[in-house]
Structure 1
Amino acid sequence: MKDLASMGINLMKKSIKIVAVLILTLSTSLFVLSIGARISGIYINTTPSLPVGFYKVVDEPILSGAYVAFCPPQGAVFDIARDRSYINQGNCPGGYGLLLKRVFAQSGDRVSIDQAGIFVNGEHLPNSAQLKTDAEGHALPQYRLQAALDDSEYLLLSDLNPQSFDARYFGLIARDQIQQVVRPVFTWSH
């Protein structure tokens, strides 16, 4: 009976080691793949803020409708977002990860942000109403703004996901925060 029990324990230990090696191999492979993609100018979006898929860096101007990659500015709202995992940790100042969002307003556009949502030049943007709390019940920032944007300001958000952490909570992004314009290469949602 003891031999049978010890054989079962040894089999379980071997199974756990095999699973651990498989997980480590898969994690390492994904990490290397993401580094290779980034070096080649490809971003992999896995969040529902934009269609999930691959985005390529392009040499185009930052215009309304463009997708952009940006480093969030350091501040309390992004510290909260990082700590609550709304955004990933990464290599941007403050330890924030690079974000991908779509440009919805730029220089000269009039923007209004309140709990009802975001209005650009008087037009209400879809899925832009602010939520009071996140899925865990934590209070969300309630950003307010009424302004005409200047040459260095952009409104970045997701019109696909009503739960996206975007301009409705952090406001405008300065031009110097935007790293690149990106274009979808292959997406499989929305």
Structure 2
Amino acid sequence: MKTNFMKKNIKILGVLILTLSVSVFVLSIGLRVSGIYINTTPSLPVGFYKVVDEPIASGAYVAFCPPQNAVFDMARDRSYINRGDCPGGYGLLLKRVFAQSGDTVSIDQAGIFVNGEHLPNSAQLAADAEGQPLPQYRLKAVLNDSEYLLLSNVNPQSFDARYFGLIARDQIQQVIYPLFTWSH
């Protein structure tokens, strides 16, 4: 009799887990269709972000498809970024704009400087948490009209501009605004 009771409880638990999984999946699709992103990564504050019709400006949060190249292939293969619907099988990334047209940007091992000001948490790491070497991107340039510097200022281990450089305007899909966020 105990065995039937346990089998019944396991079956009910399985149905509950399946129902919950399907519900979360449907909710995430519904939110995406309504222009809301859920950020669970440490690159930005965790929470809900809404697509807004605003220009790309310094300080804005944006969603972008990474350019298809060897650095992003490595990031996808090492699970620094998610797989998704962007070209190359990359997932959409959320970052903050720290420099745009006319800004002078310098990227080296010490970090990122915009117009001579050092950005917090921007020093490059030589290796990831698994000991694998990270790209050591270098740049010293004045940005043109189609270039943006996108990174995280809250996570010193974020995979961002310090490793992949500038992002072109045509890679940026939307400007997003934090609706409700909380700390990690």
Normalised TM-score (structure 2): 0.94
- Bigger shift: 60-69 or 22-31? 22-31
Aligned-pair CA distance for 1:46: 0.6
CA deviation map 1:51-106 (0-9, x unaligned): 11111111110000000000001111111111111111111111111111000000
Determine whether 1:177 maps to 2:171. Answer: yes
Q: Which residue of 2 aligns with 1:143?
A: 137
The one-letter code matched in structure 1 to 2:62 is V
Q: Which residue of 2 aligns with 1:104?
A: 98
Gaps (5+ residues) in structure 2?
none
Q: Which residue of 2 aligns with 1:95?
A: 89
- Give distance in 1, aligned partners of 2:162 and 2:5: 53
CA RMSD of aligned residues (A): 1.5
Q: Determine which structure has more spread, i.e. the larger CA radius of gyration.
A: 1
Could you tell me which of 61, 72, 94 is aligned with 2:66?
72
Could you tell me which of 121, 124, 132 is aligned with 2:126?
132
- Give distance in 2, aligned partners of 1:15 and 1:90: 36
Number of equivalences: 184
Could you tell me which of 155, 159, 163 is aligned with 2:153?
159
The one-letter code matched in structure 1 to 2:158 is S
- Bigger shift: 122-131 or 133-142? 133-142
Aligned-pair CA distance for 1:133: 1.0
- Give distance in 1, aligned partners of 2:9 and 2:89: 37
Q: Which residue of 2 aligns with 1:82?
A: 76
The one-letter code matched in structure 2 to 1:146 is K
Q: Which residue of 1 aligns with 2:22?
A: 28
SS state of the match for residue 127, structure 1?
Answer: coil
CA deviation map 1:88-143 (0-9, x unaligned): 11111111111110000000101011111000011000000011111111111111
Determine whether 1:39 maps to 2:33. Answer: yes
The one-letter code matched in structure 2 to 1:105 is A
CA deviation map 1:151-185 (0-9, x unaligned): 00000000000011100010000000000000001
Gaps (5+ residues) in structure 1?
none
Assess, with a 3 A threshold, how the Cα gap between structure 1 residues 16 and 137 changes in structure 2: closer, same or farther: farther
Q: Percent identity?
A: 84
Assess, with a 3 A threshold, how the Cα gap between structure 1 residues 14 and 68 changes in structure 2: closer, same or farther: same
Q: Which residue of 2 aligns with 1:120?
A: 114
- Give distance in 1, aligned partners of 2:17 and 2:26: 14
Assess, with a 3 A threshold, how the Cα gap between structure 1 residues 12 and 82 changes in structure 2: closer, same or farther: farther
Aligned-pair CA distance for 1:23: 2.7
Aligned-pair CA distance for 1:15: 4.7
SS state of the match for residue 134, structure 1?
Answer: coil
